[in-house]
Structure formats: structure tokens, C-alpha cells
């Protein structure tokens, strides 16, 4: 029984994240999307809303669930009995940051392995921050996020 965590801030979840999650679900027996509290990031959506948006987005994916967590990812992975962490790897700018995190996580818990799934070309430059920026300026985001996320972004920026 191989269980994997797909961690992230998911502020909010995008179609790029969903691509990584669904591909991880094709490989692992169980996938838990781990939504980080991310105190140092000033997130648009609070943790419970980010988790709810992910839960709605993954509801039709078999053996995929979503939970929030606070603290170290490796501690959460061990607590969840998930010794695989899956991250998406986009354009070259991701590499340094992801490499640093994977190396640090490996130092913290040798039993937790990080796996990377390469983004397909259409999601190479897609990020939550770009989607938030587009949404804040009334840009068309329907190609980049599920419909319920588009509605939540529109509501957030309408206030
Ligand atoms: O989607 P993101 O913002 O790139 O995800 C980053 C995330 C949440 C995976 C990373 O910040 C994380 O693991 N946070 C939990 C705290 C932690 O373990 N920090 C040490 C990592 S070296």
C-alpha cells in the first residue's frame, strides 16, 4: 500500500496542481493533498477555505483526499504514514527552490522520499500567484482553474 502526500499552499488550487495530483493518483494507492498553513505567506484564502477548494476539486478522483497541516512537512508525512512526497516541477525557476526543499526534507527524515512530476507544456508557467493576479484584474481564468475556484476568486476580489 503506497501512500503519497502532494503538499502545497494551494492559494488556490489550479489545473496545474490537479494534473500533478491525478498523475500521482495513477501511480500511488492513496494520495493525500496536504494543504500547508504557510504562515509566512500572506495567503488570499484562509486554510479551511483552501482545503475546501481542494476537496471539491478532487472529489471525483478515487483514493485522493485533502487535509490541512501546520508545521514541518516531513513530520506530517511520518504522522500520516506516507513516506513519499510528490511535487510538480515546472519551468527552470522551480528547480532551485524544490531542490533545496527536497534536500532539507531528506536531512530531516531519511525515510521520506521526494518524487517530481514534470508539468506538461500547457501548465509550465501556470501558478496560483499568476491566477490571483489575473483574477484581481478581471482577467479570464477559466482555462486555468476549476469552475468553483474561479467563482471563489471572483467573490474574493469583488469585496
Ligand atoms: O505550493 P508551495 O507554496 O510551493 O508549497 C510549499 C510547501 C507548503 C510544500 C513548503 O513550504 C512546506 O513544506 N511547508 C511546510 C513547512 C516545512 O516543512 N518547511 C521546511 C521545508 S524545507
* Half-sphere exposure (Cβ direction) of 2: Cα atoms closer than 13 Å: 11
Residue nearest to atom 13 of ligand 1 (CA): 73
Per the annotation, the verdict on 128 as an active-site residue is: yes
Distance CA 97, CA 147 (A): 30
Q: Give the model's pLDDT for residue 41.
A: 87
14 CA to middle of ligand 1, Å? 17
pLDDT tens-place string over residues 73-111: 999 999 999 999 999 999 887 889 999 999 999 999 999
Q: What is the mean pLDDT of the chain?
A: 96
Residue 39 has pLDDT above 90, yes or no: no
DSSP single-letter state for residue 121: G
Lining ligand 1 with CB less than 6 A are 7-9, 36, 38, 72-73, 101, 104-105
Catalytic residue, from 17, 50, 87, 132: name it: 17
Q: Which atom of ligand 1 approaches the CA of 75 most closely?
A: 18
Distance CA 108, CA 151 (A): 39
Residue 40 has pLDDT above 90, yes or no: no
pLDDT tens-place string over residues 116-149: 999 999 999 999 999 999 999 999 999 999 999 9
Question: Dihedral of the CA atoms 29, 147, 45, 12 (nearest 10)?
Answer: 50
Per the annotation, the verdict on 83 as an active-site residue is: no
Mean of the pLDDT values across residues 40-66?
Answer: 96
Distance CA 3, CA 9 (A): 20
DSSP single-letter state for residue 62: T
Amino acid at each position: 500500500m503506497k501512500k503519497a502526500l502532494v503538499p502545497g499552499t494551494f492559494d488556490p488550487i489550479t489545473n496545474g496542481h490537479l494534473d500533478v495530483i491525478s498523475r500521482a493518483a495513477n501511480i500511488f494507492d492513496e494520495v493525500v493533498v496536504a494543504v500547508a498553513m504557510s504562515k509566512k505567506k500572506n495567503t488570499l484564502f484562509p486554510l479551511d477555505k483552501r482545503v475546501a477548494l481542494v476537496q471539491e476539486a478532487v472529489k471525483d478522483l478515487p483514493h485522493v483526499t485533502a487535509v490541512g497541516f501546520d508545521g514541518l512537512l516531513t513530520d506530517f508525512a511520518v504522522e500520516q504514514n506516507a513516506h513519499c512526497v510528490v511535487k510538480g516541477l515546472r519551468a527552470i525557476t522551480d528547480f532551485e527552490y524544490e531542490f533545496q526543499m527536497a534536500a532539507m526534507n531528506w536531512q530531516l527524515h531519511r525515510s521520506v522520499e521526494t518524487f517530481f512530476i514534470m508539468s506538461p507544456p500547457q501548465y509550465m508557467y501556470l501558478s496560483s500567484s499568476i491566477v490571483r493576479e489575473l483574477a484581481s484584474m478581471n482577467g479570464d481564468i477559466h482555462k486555468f482553474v476549476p469552475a468553483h475556484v474561479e467563482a471563489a476568486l471572483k467573490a474574493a476580489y469583488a469585496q
